[in-house]
Structure formats: C-alpha cells, structure tokens
Structure 1
Amino acid sequence: MTTSDIAALAGRSALVTGGASGIGAAIARRLSSLGAHVTIADLDPAGARAVADEIGGDVWVVDLSDPGTVDGRTIDVDVLVNNAGIQRVSPIPEFEPEAFHRILMIMVEAPFRLIRAALPGMYDRGFGRVINISSVHGLRASEFKSAYVTAKHALEGLSKTTALEGGPHGVTSNCVNPGYVRTPLVEKQIADQARIHGIEESAVVETIMLAHNAIKRLVEPDEVASLVGWLAGPDAAMVNGASYTMDGGWTAQ
C-alpha cells in the first residue's frame, strides 16, 4: 500500500452495516486503513465494539429488520457500505413467509432507507460512495434460496437507480458480487445444504458451493474489502452503476 493509498480516504467518514464480523469487519478495517473514520452498524454490540475499538471507530447498535430504526436518523457519511445480510436455505413450499419478509427487510428495504438518509449530505458535499455488497446470487439464481436471491437481485436494481440519480451530484453507487466467502454466514449454510441435497457436510463446499467455479476455493473477506476500498477512493470516480464479480469464474459460464 502506497502513501497515497493510505491517505485516499483521509477526512472521510464511512458507515458499514453488518460490520461486526466477516466481510463487514474486513471492510471496516480496510476503510480505516485508508484514512476513513468508520462507524460499525450491527445487531451484535460486543462484536461491533471490538471492531470499533480496534480501528478507532464508532458503534451503532441497530436491528435493520425494524424499518423504524433508520427513519429520522441523520446518516451523514461519505461512504455507505450496505453489507448486512442473513440467509435461509429451504425449498419454497417450506419457506416461512415471515423469514422471507425479514430477509428482504434487512437486505433491500434497510439499504433503501440508509441510502435515502445519506444522499442529501452526499449531494451537499458533491461526493459520495454507495457500495452494496451483493453476491453472485444478484446475477444468478440457486435453488432453495428464494429470499436471498430475490433480495440480491433487488439490491442490484436499487444500486443502479442510485447510480443514475447520484451521478450528477458526484455520488457513485456500485455492487460487489462475491461467490461464497469464508464467513460465519457461509459456514452456517453447510449443514442446511447437506440436509437438503442429501450429501455429507464434508462434500458441500466442493460439490455445491464451488461447483460452478473455475477457481476452486472460497473468497477471502480481505479480498472483498480490497475491492470495496478501491471503489470508495478517488481512482473509482468514473465507476458507477457497475457490478463487480469476484466469483472464481462462476458467472463466466
């Protein structure tokens, strides 16, 4: 990392949802290393505080499944990273509507409300970066993940609409689309995938998760964070409305 890289976000502020662990924590560390003051938004107060203390950031303990948690709050940041997400693996006939609704609340409506709250300040400053952590499932579907796939496809549309509206004001909006990332969220899916597909848990990663990949390994959180750091910085000023795959070749097929 060069000196200019280190100072790329000096004086900027960032908000990372789901920042207490996994991809979000890696992103928070990356943005902080580039000079940004980062707020960790998460339902886990202890995890959020641990990351915030490590990077000298702030904590916002929030349940993004509750639509009222954002309304009326000032989101005055230069960089907004919509990362928070949950998963439910189940066939559609067995998929509880309440679980479907909660996933869409956290992964579509909460990002909309956060973007809506953050844009006025970004417009006033003539600078903003909205970075949405989508997924290969924002571009491709998989069985048994109806809510997650629906949410990520919707996030893609929200990101592109934000890009069109924000561009004239110096605000960009982009998606990062990783395949399976080595996180607690992915690890929790292994048992469900094994049960639904009728295979051993030890076979899930190779035969299910990496079946479409040309590169047969999981994505690392730091790899996602590196791309987010670039999108947040000045070198990506003309990158707008894009979806960056990081899936080992899955979507090349």
Structure 2
Amino acid sequence: MTDLEGKTALVTGSVQGIGLAVAKALAGAGARVAVHGLAAKAEAEAAVNEVRAAGAADVRVFHADMRDADAIGTMMAEIADWGGADILVNNAGIQKTVNLAEADAATWDAILSVNLSGAFHTMRLALPAMAQNGYGRVINIASVHGLVASVNKAPYVASKFGLVGLSRVAALEYAAQGSKQAGGVTVNCICPGWTETAIIEPQVQARAALFGGDRDKGVADLLAEKQPSHRTSDPAEIGALALWLCSPIAHNVTGTSIPVDGGWTAQ
C-alpha cells in the first residue's frame, strides 16, 4: 500500500470524473488533497465530502480558471502556503469535436489554454519545490489522443500531443533529483481510452442517435471502432494507477505515457 501521509496533492479538474477518482485514491492513502474545479458550490462541496470520506487528512477546494495564468499563480501560491504540492495531477481538460475547416480561433485557444498551458503553469511552479524536497510526482492525464490522432479533434489532439511532449521534457530536467529512498521526482502521463466520464457524453449521444437514442448501442459502436477490448474503463482504474505512480517504488518510472485503452494504441 502506498502511504501518502504528510503529502499534499493538487488534482485539477477534480470535482467529477477521472479527477475526482484520482483525488479519492490519493485521499485513501492519507494525502491532503486540494480539490479544484470551476463548479457550483453544491457540486464542489459534494466532491470535498467524497474526498474527505475516502480518507484525506485534509481537503481544500480551489476555483482557479485554468485559462488564466495569473489565477493559476495565485492558486499555486496558496497551496505553497498550505504546505506545497508534493503531488500534482493535471486532469482539467475540455474537448469539442469539430472538423479542421470549421474549428475557430476561440475553440483552439480555449482547448490549448486549459489542456496544455494550464498544465505548463502548474508544473513550472510546482517542480522546483519538489526538487528541493527530493520527492515529487507530476501525473498528467493526457489521452490516447496524445499518442494517436482521430478526425474532428484537431485542437484536442494537438493539446494532448503537446502535453506528452511537455511531460517528457520535464521528466528529463528533473530525472536526477532526489534519491531511490526519498522517491525522486517523476513526471508521467496516463493516456486513457474510452472512459466513463462526462467529457465523452456528447460523442456517446451523437452515436446513440444512429441507433434511435439507444445509449448502450452507441457506446458499443464507439468501442468497436477504436478499443479492441470492447470495454470502457472506470475512472477508479485511472485513480489506482495514479496512486501506484506516487509510490517510492516508481522512482524510475518517468517520462512515460501509459495507455489505459484496451489495446487501442497497440493497433
């Protein structure tokens, strides 16, 4: 079992979906957790209650807009005052399916800002302190679309390929920090395939419409097209992998992009 007692984790985009599942997994190991998201008060409070119930030593909620570098800087300073982020999970992300000819500047800017620039700003502010402490974990929730492309997702694919590249650079720059005993500083990506989250729901509904609104048939059709296992992942499975990456035993796992995609990227 990974013991994160005394560690503080920031999980962006953690009021629902994969982010909430990761936050709960880290909480179960005893971490203090900074929950983050642009959510209504009731949704944020519900997430905090779930993370606390999972075992978090303490929980705070932050609402920084990941499109705003200054807001991110303020949030990171507040977390530094709280003890600093020993673990940073960049999960906040948005997606819009649109073909290249019809994608506009606003769509491009929004997706790149949240999915890529937001992670850049949290990483540049968190990693130096991790290096000083000899332990740190950056886990960026990328996507299979950080490894392979799909039509109608140019901004999203660009952001996720960029996130994989950014993570590899950071992994190299911090690879020698810390020690085996302390756990070192590692930077990795988790690349989920079809996972039961709100972000895929528009695609599910569009595919379900081809089958008279039958959601199960829509999901099955999506899976058959891309994911050889024909099974979706549960967000808790991503949380379990993130927790393992936080263990000192994973000190030499850095610069990787780990697919959780039922064989999608093996094809």
TM over 0.5: yes
SS of the equivalent of 1:90 reads: coil
Q: Residue by residue, what CA displacement relative to the aligned partner does 1:37-87 show, whole Å, maximum 9, x if unpaired?
A: 010111114323222233331100121122221135425210000001111
Q: Which residue is equivalent to 2:35?
A: 40
Letter in 2 for 1:18: G
Structure 2: state its 5+ residue gaps. 53-58, 178-183
Structure 1: state its 5+ residue gaps. none
RMSD between aligned residues = 1.7
Q: Following the alignment from structure 2 to structure 1, what is the Cα–Cα distance between the partners of residues 169 and 60? A: 29
Question: 1:189 Cα shift?
Answer: 2.5
Q: Which portions of structure 1, spanning 4 or more consecutive aligned residues, are displaced by more than 3 angstroms?
A: 191-195, 198-204
Q: Which residue is equivalent to 1:233?
A: 247
Superposition TM-score, scaled by structure 1 size: 0.91
1:62 aligns with 2:57: no
Q: Residue by residue, what CA displacement relative to the aligned partner does 1:163-199 show, whole Å, maximum 9, x if unpaired?
A: 001111121000101101101111133234568xx77
SS of the equivalent of 2:14 reads: coil
Superposition TM-score, scaled by structure 2 size: 0.87
Q: Residue by residue, what CA displacement relative to the aligned partner does 1:183-233 show, whole Å, maximum 9, x if unpaired?
A: 1111133234568xx775544322334412221111110111110010011
Matches within 5 A, 1:165-184: 165-169=173-177, 170-184=184-198
Q: How many residue pairs were aligned?
A: 246
Q: Following the alignment from structure 1 to structure 2, what is the Cα–Cα distance between the partners of residues 13 and 21? A: 19
Say which of 79, 95, 107 aligns to 2:103: 95
Larger displacement relative to structure 2 (106-115 or 227-236)? 227-236
Letter in 1 for 2:32: H
Q: Following the alignment from structure 1 to structure 2, what is the Cα–Cα distance between the partners of residues 90 and 236? A: 38
SS of the equivalent of 1:11 reads: coil
